[in-house]
Amino acid sequence: MISWRALTGRAQLQAGGCARHRAVLLDLLDGRTQGRDVDEALEHLGRCDACQREMSEYALVIAGLRRLGAAARRSEPDATGWARVAARLQEAPRRPRWHLRQAPVAGLVALPAVLAVLVAGLLAGGGGEARVAVPAGPAGTDAVSLAAPQVAVPGPQHNAALQRAFRIADTAAEQDPPVACEGAAVVQDEADGEAGLLVAVPPRGPLPDGLAVFMATGTPDRFGGSRMTVAPAIVPE
Amino acid sequence: MAEARPDGVSVVGDGGDGDSRAFEAFYRQWEGAVYRTALALLRDQMTAEEVVVDTFLRAHGAWHRLDPGRSPLPWLQRVTVNLALNRLRRRRLGLEPIPEQEPWPDEAGIAPESAAEQRELTAALARGIERLPVQMRAVVILRFVQDSSLASIAEVLDCPLGTVKSRLHNALRLLRDDLRQEFEPSLGADVAPRLSGGSEEPAS
């Protein structure tokens, strides 16, 4: 077992009064110094045992991360990668790609984090998995018609999954600005078998009865395709 | 019609053989960077290779939307990171089994007299990275594996520069606390225990 104290010095760690210099000192350790109060921070460091100790610890962390990074940069991908990509391109004809540029739902908030929007119906009742039909726009367009999509929303039997999905939805709060979530669903893209996430966002105006707006997080192409399986969707209480 | 990209790849948009060759050249130019990001995030070779394939399938689908005047790397990294983080979240939520994690590669260039000590440290760091909230993990990987600038990371993660800095500082603090607790438990940690599940970041 190595001695952490021996590696980082024996100064007492009392970083509370030194917090305002920490960001600058961390930037220095990471090799970034532009536009910061470097001289003042260095002067403080020269006379503060606690900061010297703390920066010694961070220096070890950063040096270790650099070693790991340098080692990871030597990893090489499998030589058969292109064959797998080519095979997938052969087997799946190119699907029309879409993302929503204008929501046909009146009053929908234009959220910067929105990458695709689906409209789900039948909020009440209807247990079990159901499908969201998202009619793809004509090839070469970015529009998607939201007319008559369908989803059956599972009931209380999906509470556990619902809780999981809400926890995922919390990550949407990391968006800037934060996205207020009313619900979420884990979805399965039938085309490539990947799960994704739908996050309900509150519309600015009232929606027609029986409709909820869901926002998909991920890349713009993530939910490209014509059909999704919802398993499960969530109804805000 | 052919377009010259900054990466030197000529892109032909007619879907024919030229298109295929151009896309293969594009793939071969960028697969290493994409793979290393995916592997560093996931620590699982098989899943990382799946993410590479999915990333390039999306690149193929988005080919006509990529700006030929700019490097495609930030776009590729963004797709890769999003796909990898989705997989990590699914693992953490129990929606997907957690495969056996690949060890980080051995580090070269470590002086023999300090090798054991440094390996112990970096092994502890690697364990700490696995426990980081996924958004922080992405920042750390992009910064120290891809050697990306903070501005580039902000572009890849589509978030403000201040958010990247905050995540990086919080990640360094969590990793520091991990090392401290591992090697000197009596010192304790400065920060509250990590959050688990979906809500990722402690307050900075």
Tokens of B26: 């594009």
pLDDT, greater one: A168 or A82: A82
Contact partners, residue A32, CB within 8 Å, separation at least 6: B150
| Alpha-carbon distances, residue A183 vs A79, A159, A180, A186 (angstroms) | 42, 12, 9, 11
Helix (H) or strand (E) segment spanning residue B162 = helix B161-183
Looking only at the bridges linking them, the beta strands covering A211-216 and A227-230 are unpaired
Share of chain A above pLDDT 70, in %: 29
CB-based contact, B132 to chain A, within 8 Å: no
pLDDT tens column, B22-65: 888 899 999 999 999 999 888 888 889 989 998 998 888 877 77
Contact partners, residue A163, CB within 8 Å, separation at least 6: none
Do B45 and B102 contact (CB within 8 A), yes or no?
A: yes
- Residues of A within 8 A of B143 (CB-CB) are 30, 65
What is the rounded average pLDDT for all residues in chain B? 76
Q: Give pLDDT, residue B116.
A: 74
Cβ–Cβ of B183/A3 closer than 8 Å? yes
Indicate the pTM of the whole model. Answer: 0.57
A69 HSE (CA, 13 A, CB side): 18
Cβ–Cβ of B27/A82 closer than 8 Å? yes
Checking if the pLDDT of B15 tops 90, the result is no
> How many residues are there in chain B?
204
Cβ–Cβ of B121/A64 closer than 8 Å? yes
Cβ–Cβ of A62/B201 closer than 8 Å? no
Cβ–Cβ of A61/B172 closer than 8 Å? yes
A165 HSE (CA, 13 A, CB side): 28
Cβ–Cβ of A4/B159 closer than 8 Å? no
pLDDT tens column, A97-127: 322 222 222 222 222 222 223 333 222 222 2
Checking if the pLDDT of B107 tops 70, the result is no
- Name the residue among B122, B179, B198 with its Cβ closest to that of A68: B122
Tokens of B161: 């520069």
CB-based contact, A83 to chain B, within 8 Å: no
Which own/partner pairs from B5-10 qualify as long-range (CB within 8 Å, at least 24 positions apart)?
B5/B68, B5/B72, B6/B68, B6/B69, B6/B70, B6/B71, B7/B71, B7/B72
Q: Give pLDDT, residue B52.
A: 93
Q: What's the CA gap between A70 and B146, in Å, rounded?
A: 9
Mean pLDDT throughout A23-47?
A: 74
pLDDT tens column, B148-173: 888 889 988 888 988 998 899 899 99
Chain A, 98-157: which have a CB under 8 Å from a chain B CB? none
Helix (H) or strand (E) segment spanning residue B121 = helix B112-131
Tokens of B178: 């991990």
